[in-house]
Amino acid sequence: DSGVTQTPKHLITATGQRVTLRCSPRSGDLSVYWYQQSLDQGLQFLIQYYNGEERAKGNILERFSAQQFPDLHSELNLSSLELGDSALYFCASTDGYEQFFGPGTRLTVL
Amino acid sequence: EDKVVQSPLSLVVHEGDTVTLNCSYEVTNFRSLLWYKQEKKAPTFLFMLTSSGIEKKSGRLSSILDKKELFSILNITATQTGDSAIYLCAFISNDMRFGAGTRLTVKP
């Protein structure tokens, strides 16, 4: 158990819908990363937050947005979902030395 | 365009063998390189390398970065079946980019 929690574990929804994925970092970690892993694209970095502020942006689509709240949990919002958005979404937190991944949310878009 | 290439793509060895996994990169504004192990689900962080020539070691695993030749290697000695996994490297620059991974299979 890494100490990073993600909810929900699985999510099945239809095209065009909007979902919110939630991540709670390890206690004391200020930084949260979001990743998408699909079979054809591998692991892709989406976005990083540090203490509530966006720190770095990767291959995140305009339909996706994220934020980090004062209690340091983070949410990834995915809207106008397409079939190709089906993937595992991981978040990770870091203490500045190591990075700890959550168990992931498997999103299936039908 | 920034890129990272891992080789080999796949490797099958027997227990006790030593393996070397390669990660080469081309990136502007390089900050650090990371190695991960991914078995069934979430990746597990192994190493972060920022300085050239300094070996990082954890048990049977070690890694080193060469910033002049733009590559890193991950060594695993005395491999065990539990080392079977996909090993990913990634660099951090202005964002973060992952390689496709090396699938390592260790047979008994």
Looking at residue A32, what is its pLDDT? 95
In the three-class reduction of DSSP (H, G, I as helix; E, B as strand; rest coil), residue A63 is classed as coil
Looking at residue A69, what is its pLDDT? 96
Taking a C-beta distance cutoff of 8 angstroms, is the pair A34, A43 a contact? Answer: no
Looking at residue A5, what is its pLDDT? 96
Closest CA–CA distance from residue B37 to any residue of chain A (Å): 11
Averaged pLDDT, groups of 10, chain A, 110 residues long:
92 95 95 91 91 91 96 96 96 88 95
Looking at residue B17, what is its pLDDT? 96
In the three-class reduction of DSSP (H, G, I as helix; E, B as strand; rest coil), residue A22 is classed as strand
CA distance A101 to A33: 9
Looking at residue B12, what is its pLDDT? 95
Supply the DSSP symbol for B55.
Answer: -
Looking at residue A35, what is its pLDDT? 95
Looking at residue B29, what is its pLDDT? 84
pLDDT band (50, 70, 90) for residue B35: very high
Residue of A nearest to B89 (CA): A43
Give the A:B interface size as CB pairs under 8 Å: 47
The rounded percent of chain B whose pLDDT value lies above 90 is: 73
- For residue A85, count other CB atoms closer than 10 A to its CB: 21
Q: Indicate the residue type of A109.
A: V
Q: Select from A43, A44, A59 the Cβ nearest to the Cβ of B43.
A: A43
Looking at residue B93, what is its pLDDT? 83
Pick the residue with more confidence: A89 or B93?
A89
Taking a C-beta distance cutoff of 8 angstroms, is the pair B7, B102 a contact? Answer: yes
Pick the residue with more confidence: A41 or B39?
B39
- The full DSSP string for A34-99 is EEEEETTTEEEEEEEEETTEEEEE-S--TTEEEEE-TTS-EEEEE-S--GGG-EEEEEEEE-SS-E
Looking at residue B51, what is its pLDDT? 84
CB contact under 8 A, B96 and A48: yes
pLDDT band (50, 70, 90) for residue B28: confident
Does residue B14 carry a pLDDT above 80? yes
- For residue A82, count other CB atoms closer than 10 A to its CB: 12
| Nearest partner of A57 among B1, B44, B93, judged by Cα | B93
Closest CA–CA distance from residue A43 to any residue of chain B (Å): 6
- Please write the tens of the pLDDT for every residue from B42-65: 999 999 998 888 899 999 999 999
Supply the DSSP symbol for A26.
Answer: P
